[in-house]
Chains A and B, each alone.
Chain A
């Protein structure tokens, strides 16, 4: 199948760290996107991972394990403005881009 699985909703506290997981089918896998989407707004690009390992961009990091079909987005020093949906999307060798349903992240003070 082509399922991409993400938790539907997560809650975290301001200042803390949260990890949002994404699992996918490994066949034909090329790379994996993470996008952020605030309520009522368009998605915006966060990262694109092709190789195994962790890529850090400020407070946000994205990890990929190609063999395990697994990625996570790590958000540190959470701020209220990080409340949003986080979308995982996979590019495949058959020229497909498949999106997960997104994880709604709620930040509490």
Chain B
């Protein structure tokens, strides 16, 4: 089985621009979660999608949004980029419910640099 894939792997943007990141979960997995990781901050939960619905959301501003398609692929969008948005963005998939203790499988991440 193919693992979780994320595209692109690296991105450089300037302040004020917007960006869309893509995640393809493991086949058969219906839950997709997004995280932001910065040095010293650990993983910060952005949101989780299940069956095309946002099921859970972290404490990020509305500039961060996402969606999930019928094939479980997910995208996240960040509008009006700020320097502080520079981070590694990780996507993780699980069968149905990571918040109930299911293992999450992480993708390699998209490293975003905002100049």
Contacts and interface: CB of A to CB of B under 8 A. Distances in A.
Interface of A: 8, 30-31, 33, 41-45, 48, 50, 87, 89, 91-92, 95-102
B103 A41 contact: no
B2 interface: no
A10 B4 CA distance: 30
A13 to B, nearest CB: 25
B22 to A, nearest CB: 16
B104 A95 contact: no
Contacts of B109: 42
Nearest to B35: A99
A99 B99 contact: no
Given A31-B101, A42-B109, A101 B41 contact: yes
A97 B98 contact: yes
A96 B100 CA distance: 9
Q: Contact size class for B?
A: 20 to 34
A91 B42 contact: no
A87 B43 contact: yes
B40 interface: yes
Interface of B: 4, 33, 35, 40-45, 55-56, 90, 92, 98-101, 103-109
B106 A44 contact: yes
A97 B108 contact: no
B104 A41 contact: no
Contact of B90 (A42, A48, A102): A42
B106 to A, nearest CB: 4
B80 to A, nearest CB: 26
Given A87-B42, A96-B56, A100-B42, A48 B101 contact: yes
Nearest to A88: B42
A84 B41 CA distance: 16
Nearest to A92: B99
22 contacts: A8-B40, A30-B101, A42-B90, A42-B106, A42-B107, A43-B90, A45-B104, A48-B103, A87-B42, A89-B43, A91-B101, A92-B99, A95-B56, A95-B99, A96-B56, A97-B99, A99-B43, A99-B45, A100-B42, A101-B41, A101-B42, A102-B42
